[in-house]
């Protein structure tokens, strides 16, 4: 992994309960940084990291992200960070994508070049129990040929109890998620079998790779070994439950009226 470090502080991002901050990094790019001990808790960094890494393994269009280490000297240099209650250490940095709109402002006349990923996004969200796939957490980036590319962002509210309650992680929720992006996606999907196909891809993801992702959580994010184990076991259990959930989803949104 190519390490990057902060070189210029650009201030607070205007949105987000976690109080994300904008920084130019040593690679010349601008990142939106979520810090440890933000108002939503370090758990949102854990979820963003774990879910983002799993999404990458499955080939989903998650926005590029990195771990960035902010030392005590960095905090001294950018002293304004202390007023938010942040702490030095590893932080979650997501690349700030240019010329994007959220799905609440769809570019009607522009083709989404990776729209075939919509069934995969639905299935993935059910696996990680994403309770926050709203129109602000899908970005449409305008490309040079006047088409758009869809990116996924912000996975801080995945998993029952957001991944921090071992008790809640013992059971996989079997209810259908009520997410605006999912209901919109249904209108763009021609064949519901595409959801089943991607479900099979999730089921085939080796447990060793899932465990490796969880083991990569930075030590200073204070996730205990028992919590890591609970999260790992949840993901395995959720894989087993996934076919049932996706069939329920297909039955609800793609049911053919037999009277026709």
Those residues whose C-beta lies under 8 Å from the C-beta of residue 4, and which sit 6 or more positions away, are 25, 26, 27, 66, 68, 93
What is the distance between the alpha carbons of residues 246 and 252, in angstroms, rounded to a whole number? 10
What is the distance between the alpha carbons of residues 115 and 170, in angstroms, rounded to a whole number? 34
pLDDT digits (tens, 9 = 90+) for 133-179: 998 899 999 998 889 999 999 999 999 988 778 888 999 999 999 99
3-state secondary structure of 97: coil
pLDDT digits (tens, 9 = 90+) for 193-207: 999 999 999 999 999
pLDDT digits (tens, 9 = 90+) for 10-36: 999 877 788 999 999 999 999 999 999
Strands 21-25 and 65-70: unpaired
Contact indicator for 123, 253 with CB cutoff of 8 Å: no
pLDDT of residue 133: 95
pLDDT of residue 260: 41
């Amino acid at each position: 992994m190519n390490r990057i470090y902060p070189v210029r502080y650009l201030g607070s991002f205007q949105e987000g309960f976690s109080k994300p901050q904008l920084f130019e990094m040593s690679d010349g790019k601008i990142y939106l940084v979520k810090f440890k001990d933000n108002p939503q808790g370090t758990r949102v960094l854990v979820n963003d990291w774990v879910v983002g890494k799993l999404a990458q393994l499955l080939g989903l269009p998650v926005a590029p992200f990195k771990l960035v280490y902010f030392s005590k000297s960095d905090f001294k240099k950018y002293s304004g960070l202390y007023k938010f209650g942040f702490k030095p250490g590893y932080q979650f940095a997501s690349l700030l994508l240019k010329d994007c709109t959220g799905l609440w402002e769809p570019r009607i006349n522009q083709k989404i070049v990776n729209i075939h990923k919509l069934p995969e996004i639905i299935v993935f969200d059910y696996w990680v129990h994403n309770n926050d796939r709203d129109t602000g957490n899908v970005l449409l980036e305008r490309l040079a040929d006047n088409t758009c590319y869809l990116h996924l962002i912000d996975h801080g509210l995945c998993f029952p109890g957001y991944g921090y309650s071992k008790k809640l992680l013992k059971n996989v929720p079997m209810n259908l998620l009520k997410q605006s992006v999912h209901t919109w996606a249904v209108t763009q999907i021609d064949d519901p079998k595409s959801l089943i196909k991607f479900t099979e891809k999730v089921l085939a993801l080796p447990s060793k790779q899932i465990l490796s992702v969880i083991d990569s959580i930075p030590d200073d994010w204070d996730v205990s070994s028992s919590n890591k184990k609970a999260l790992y076991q949840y993901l395995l259990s959720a894989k087993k439950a996934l076919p049932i959930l996706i069939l329920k989803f297909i039955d609800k949104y793609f049911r053919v009226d037999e009277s026709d």
